[in-house]
Each structure stands twice: as C-alpha cells, then as structure tokens.
C-alpha cells in the first residue's frame, strides 16, 4: 500500500526554507512545456498527496507554485510539468540534468484519496489541467483494485498541445480505464476525435450517482460546461472536485495573495468540492 503524505518522523522544516533538489531528468513535452523529474538532496521521498503542489525556488530570481504531476506510489523521484510563461518559468526551462533547484513543500490539501477508494471515478482534464490530475491518475492505476470503474476524458486545444503522449498511449491500451481524448482544432495529420471535451461524455456509460466521484481540472470555461454535464447525470455536488489555480506567493497562508473571499487557496485548496466553489465564484469566473 502506498505511504501517503509527510510522515510523523520527518524532520520539522521551516515553511520558508527551500530544500535543495537535483534535476534527474528533463523531458520536452511541447514547445512550451517540459517535465522535470527531481530528487531531494536528502534522499527522502517528497511525501506528497496527489493534487498537492510545491513552490520552486530559484535563488535571485523568484519562486513559483507548480503542481506535482507524479504519484506518491512512485516515490524515488517526483515530477513537475512546467509551462514557460514568464521570468521564473523561463529560468526553470534553462535547467539541465544534474542542476539543483530549491523546493518548498508539499503544499496545499491535495485529493483525499481515501474518500475516493471503493468508488467509480470520472476524471475530466483540459489543457495544462492534465498536469495536476496526472498524479491522481497514476495513483488510481497503481492502486487499481481499490477503485471501481475508471473513466478518463482529456481535451487539448490542438494536437501539438497534447501533454504526456506516452501516458496517453498507455492509458488507451489498458482495458481497465475508459479513456477518450479530443482536440478542439485538429490538423491534417490528426486521426482522433475533434470537438470540445464535453463531446466525450457520449463515451461514458450511465454513472451511478451515489457511487461516483468526479474530478474536473482545466480552464474555467471548460469547468463550467463539464459541471453542467455532470450535474445532469445527478452526481451530487459534494462528489465533484476541482483544483484551483490562484496567484500565490508564500504558499503557506501568510501573505494573502491567494485569498478568494475569506479563503486562502494555498491552505484550504487547491482542491475544492464544487459546493465550496460557489462561495469562491470569483476564482472560477
């Protein structure tokens, strides 16, 4: 059985002190996204839950929050998928195998996997949303006997923006996951499905409302339409989860940068139930 979360014997650490980690490998996924496998210099596993994030720290440059995209069931290294959008992520993209970077975390709440055990699972991911939820997908596949039916839907804007192509092939080949993907804007080579991710709901058989937990991670516009599909299938609001991205600085509830209404997303999130999100409407619109 997977050991989840920081263990009580872990040395108490300062919330603000980055731990050095070595870049074990770098893989280019698309023109904008790379995946980094990291190992803490201490040799300890990160001890995270699926859905948690870390603050990556570059001395003299800054920090940025990045979701952990690998499962704690694969503890030797942990992986981060980083999209190059600005100064800090540009510097992260210059890292090479053997370089060192600072890591604070794991931070945030993550998915309560124990609540998901024994249930049918539907995961809907859009765009870069596949990164935070990939840790949960790997966890479910590694602990497959603990879950019922597993439906996985993924949408990207174009074929060139599909992430984790090796995983997509593996998931398609497995007969214990009902996996479907689509792109909004196909190119001439694309032989798969086209259309927005909600078109894939035709591939999901009837869901048992009391037995199904749903996880939705993607841009706000996708979230809105996917929730409508899910509610139409009579899934209860408390069984619908999503992961929110707010601007963050400290990641530990001290600076207020991530605050939405009276909630610190870095502490109480980034994973929320749909019911809780109604109070955070400004964060998803």
Ligand X SMILES: Cc1cc2nc3c(=O)[nH]c(=O)nc-3n(C[C@H](O)[C@H](O)[C@H](O)COP(=O)(O)OP(=O)(O)OC[C@H]3O[C@@H](n4cnc5c(N)ncnc54)[C@H](O)[C@@H]3O)c2cc1C
Give the footprint of ligand FES on this chain (CB under 6 A). 248-251, 253-258, 264, 266
Which residue, 280, 118, 150, is CA-closest to 215? Answer: 150
Sequence-distant (6+) residues with CB within 8 A of 53 are 65, 66, 67, 68, 105, 106, 107, 108, 132, 251, 270
* Binding flag, residue 270, ligand X (CB under 6 A): yes
Which of 123, 153, 248, 283: binder of ligand X (CB under 6 A)?
248
In a 10 Å sphere around its CB, with 0-12 CB exposed, 13-18 middle and 19+ buried, how is residue 130 labelled?
buried
Least CB distance to ligand FES at residue 249 (A): 5
Least CB distance to ligand FES at residue 122 (A): 29
Least CB distance to ligand FES at residue 218 (A): 22
Which of 23, 35, 54, 66: binder of ligand X (CB under 6 A)?
66
* Binding flag, residue 135, ligand X (CB under 6 A): no
* Binding flag, residue 271, ligand X (CB under 6 A): no
Which of 34, 67, 77, 212: binder of ligand X (CB under 6 A)?
67
Give the E-state strand segments of 10-97 in sequence order.
19-28, 33-40, 53-58, 62-67, 78-83
Q: Which residue is nearest to ligand X (CB)?
A: 86
Cα 156-160-166 angle, rounded to 5 deg: 80
Q: Which stretch binds ligand X (CB under 6 A): 16-24, 71-79, 118-126, 240-248?
A: 240-248
Which residue, 171, 191, 169, 187, is CA-closest to 179? Answer: 171
Least CB distance to ligand FES at residue 266 (A): 3
Least CB distance to ligand FES at residue 48 (A): 18
Positions in the binding site for ligand X (CB under 6 A): 53, 64-67, 81-83, 85-89, 128, 131-132, 245-248, 270
């Amino acid at each position: 059985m997977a050991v989840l979360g920081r263990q009580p014997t872990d040395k108490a650490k300062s919330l603000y002190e980055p731990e050095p980690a070595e870049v074990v490998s770098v893989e280019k996924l698309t023109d904008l996204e790379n995946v980094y496998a990291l190992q803490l210099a201490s040799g300890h596993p990160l001890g995270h839950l699926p859905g948690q994030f870390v603050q990556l720290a570059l001395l003299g440059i800054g920090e940025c929050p990045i979701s952990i995209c690998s499962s704690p069931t694969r503890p030797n290294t942990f992986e981060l998928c980083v999209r190059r959008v600005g100064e800090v992520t540009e510097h992260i993209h210059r890292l090479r195998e053997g370089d060192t970077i600072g890591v604070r975390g794991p931070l945030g709440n993550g998915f309560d996997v124990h609540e998901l055990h024994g249930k049918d699972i539907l995961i809907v991911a859009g765009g870069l949303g596949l990164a935070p939820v990939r840790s949960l997908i790997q966890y479910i596949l590694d602990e497959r006997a603990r879950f019922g039916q597993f439906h996985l839907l993924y949408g990207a804007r174009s074929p060139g923006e599909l992430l984790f192509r090796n995983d997509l092939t593996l998931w398609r080949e497995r007969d214990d996951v009902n996996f479907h993907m689509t792109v909004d804007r196909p190119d001439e080579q694309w032989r798969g499905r086209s259309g927005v991710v909600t078109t894939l709901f035709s591939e999901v058989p009837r869901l048992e409302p009391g037995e199904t937990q749903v996880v939705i991670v993607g841009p706000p516009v996708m979230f809105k339409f996917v929730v409508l599909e899910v509610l139409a299938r009579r899934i209860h609001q408390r069984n619908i989860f999503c992961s929110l991205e707010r601007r963050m600085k400290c990641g530990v509830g001290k600076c207020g940068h991530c605050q939405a209404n009276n909630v610190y997303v870095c502490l109480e999130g980034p994973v929320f139930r749909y019911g809780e999100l109604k109070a955070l409407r400004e964060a998803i619109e």
